[in-house]
Amino acid sequence: MSIQKNNYIKPPEFGELIMIADGVLWTRFRIPAQLDHINIYLIKDNDGWFVIDTGPESDDNRELWKTLLQNLPDKAKITGILVTHSHPDHIGLAGWLQTYCAVPLYISEKEMLQAKNEQNHRNAKDYDDLRRFYQQMDVSIDDMKGVKEGWSFLDLLYGPLPTDVIIVKSGDTIKIGGESWSLWSGSGHSIEHLCLQNASGDILISGDQIIAHITPYVGISYMSQEADPLSGWLYSLNNMLEWISTKALVLPSHNKPFFDGSKRVREVIAHHQISLEKLLSSLTQWRTINGLSTVLGWEKKRGFARCLALEETFAHITYLVNTGKVVCDDSDSLGVLRYHLA
């Protein structure tokens, strides 16, 4: 195990343990995608280590966990798990790891509900409405092929869900190693995404809520619980500014840890405002979501990335409709939605 200096941070290898801060270990697990990793953090507890997130389902990642557990400092054990949200890179191995380590698992109520809903769809192969949902966006045949491939790909990243969970919510605190960690939750990227910050304000584990160099996905998906996720996202980010410690080292789920989380939050808010302004300036004529995605610079996206781009465009234009700045025409016989300035 190595100890990192915060002024020069080298990411750990997959399954390698690095002491990123006092009492906090950092490792990485594999994601079979362009964004090839998820950061996993372990917090020193009274008699072991408390885990934040688990990585996606795969034989490789299960083996990484087994090796890591054998190499914990002082041959300690895992004492608990917290899942920040229900996306597969975070919850994919949660059921397996909880059973393997026989420990409690914490998650928010709406994220657990989302995970169960998606599991039911996977088990039933119930995607009959998939074509109709994406038809609203005026998808091409190639886009639809990418959509189906994307859902099939995601299905493989989920293992069994945890069956015995402790529900937590924003405002709760968890005692880990004698220190209180406060919980905060927001929506937009997912329905009730948890972050946690220690009482001293030195460490903030942000999940996907704040990431350096990446603007997290905010879209309306086939199984989304949120009708207007961008509204929830912008509200959550502004609310988060009141909660973040100004001195905290931010430990995100992707890319490297960084300082000044408030600055990054403001950058993300500004990014979305620019996207909204681009859409408004293009709506002097009727346009579809497919066409509007090119306004946001996503015309070259292919496969599952194209699917995500369409869903994000859908979220942005829905936000503008709900603010009254844009109107939606849903009279098309094929179900394609069209938009124009109000």
When pLDDT is averaged across residues 17-22 and rounded to a whole number, the result is 95
Q: Is residue 200 part of a domain?
A: yes
261-319 confidence digits (pLDDT tens): 999 999 999 999 999 999 999 999 999 999 999 999 988 888 778 888 999 999 999 99
**Residue 199 near residue 180, CB atoms below 8 Å:** yes
> Which residue segment(s) compose the domain that 155 sits in?
2-271
User: What pairs with residue 175 in β-bridges?
Assistant: 180
> Can you give the pLDDT at residue 7?
56
CB-count exposure of residue 153 (10 Å: 0-12, 13-18, 19+): middle
Return the DSSP state at 43: E
d(CA 63, CA 74): 20
Residue 45 in domain? yes
Judged on CB neighbours under 10 Å (0-12, 13-18, 19+), 97 is buried
- Is 248's pLDDT higher than 90? yes
Domain CATH for 112: 3.60.15.10
pLDDT of residue 129: 77
**So what's the pLDDT on residue 6?**
56
Count of CB atoms within 10 A of residue 17's CB? 19
The string of DSSP codes covering 253-301 is: SSS--EE-HHHHHHHHHHHHHHHHHHHHHHTTS-B-HHHHHHHTT-TT-
Buried b (16+ CB within 10 A) or exposed e, 232-260: bbbebbeebeeebbeebbbbbbbebbbee
- Secondary structure of residue 171 in the 3-state scheme: coil
Distance of alpha carbon 296 from alpha carbon 281, whole angstroms: 11
In a domain, residue 290? The reply is no
Q: Where are the alpha helices (DSSP H) in 136-206?
A: 141-155
Does residue 55 sit within a domain?
yes
Dihedral sign of CA atoms 34, 36, 41, 47 in order: positive
Which of 130-134, 211-215, 220-224 holds the top average pLDDT? Answer: 211-215
158 in a structural domain: yes
pLDDT in tens, 331-341: 999 999 999 99
Count of domains forming the chain: 1
In a domain, 328, yes or no: no
Instruction: Report if residue 288 sits inside a domain.
Output: no
Residues in the chain: 342
Q: pTM to 2 decimals? A: 0.94
Say what angle helices 94-101 and 59-70 make with each other, to 10 degrees: 30
| Domain annotation covers residue 208 | yes
* Predicted local confidence at residue 1, as pLDDT: 43
